[in-house]
Amino acid sequence: MTRKFTFTNFFRSWLFVLISLSAIPPLPATGANVSVRAQPSHLVNGSPVLFVVKSVARLQSLKGKWLNHEFPFSFDEKSKIWFALAGISLETAPGSYSLELTGEKNTSSEPHREVTFIRKFSIGRGKYPKIKVNLTVENKFTEPTPEQTKQIEEGQQVKKDYLNRVTPEREWEGQFAAPAEAAISDVFASERIFNNKTSSPHLGLDFRVPSGTPVEAMNDGTVLLARPLYFEGNFVVIDHGQGLLTLYLHLSEFKVKEGDQVKRGQVIGLSGGTGRATGPHLHVAVRWQGTYLDPAKLIALRLP
């Protein structure tokens, strides 16, 4: 049977050619129509980093890979940008590092087409104090008895179990606020020596506050820990989602319990001098996917 030449048959054969052509795998996307920015503009070790992506093509989702960490981006409907908070560990050496972005795009031929693009960012050396501070604390912190060593090990296990958590949902929104209005008494990454024995880098930020000062949540989140630990004293940890945690140490009193939802500015406890502290003060720390970051740099970021 011969096919009669009709317009319908002609159209069908061309439709077949078109479908076959569109089935050819697409060329790797170059990401030329994508702009990627980082804040702060000068990246250093120990710093948090906000990545902002603007894409001409409408993406369904976007994820990033950076310094062996993976993280999702959020879309801000108002400014039409994709954003994500990430970090750079204190141990990261200066150099050029790749941010690998994978977006999901809906096209008429493929509903979930993945596009991958890479941007390089240069990381410099952070300006951290080189001073060594000698501090005097109770002997139980530098020469623990076997019973105290057991408590120290229990604390280490709790930190191992909780402080590397990455919950998928983002709870933080907008700026991170200082947990207290007070002068800074010790900055991030200074080197402390306790009783001329134990050396320990300062992986947080100290606020000079007397005992009993209200301590506020730096952003919205869920209370992951609210319990006493050997070195930390009364210890509160807030999970802000996507691997970002804030830690509050040496408290005299808890105002929240584990599992509570908190809002930025909510009082979570009162400051004190519990645990390994030379006196009353507030020590706060920031962790992103298991890495300590400089809290002062997080507070300074302008966030969507």
The residues that touch Zn ion, with contacts defined as CB under 5 A, are: 204, 206, 283
Q: How far is the CB of 206 from Zn ion (least distance, A)?
A: 4
What Cα–Cα distance (Å) separates residue 94 from each residue in 26, 43, 99, 128, 254?
36, 9, 15, 14, 40
Task: State how far the Cα of 89 lies from the Cα of 288, in Å rounded to an integer.
Answer: 9
69 vs 192, which CB is nearer to Zn ion? 192
146 φ/ψ angles, rounded to the nearest 5 degrees: -55, -40
Residue nearest to Zn ion (CB): 283
13 vs 199, which CB is nearer to Zn ion? 199
Q: How far is the CB of 24 from Zn ion (least distance, A)?
A: 59
The angle subtended at Cα 239 by Cα 281 and Cα 235, nearest 5°, is 30
Q: How far is the CB of 48 from Zn ion (least distance, A)?
A: 18
206 vs 220, which CB is nearer to Zn ion? 206
118 vs 133, which CB is nearer to Zn ion? 133
Q: How far is the CB of 204 from Zn ion (least distance, A)?
A: 5
In the numeric block, which tokens belong to residue 23? Answer: 């089935």
Cβ proximity of 220 and 235 under 8 Å: no
178 DSSP 8-state letter? P
139 DSSP 8-state letter? G
Helix H segments across the chain? 7-22, 146-162, 295-300
175 vs 190, which CB is nearer to Zn ion? 190
Q: How far is the CB of 230 from Zn ion (least distance, A)?
A: 16
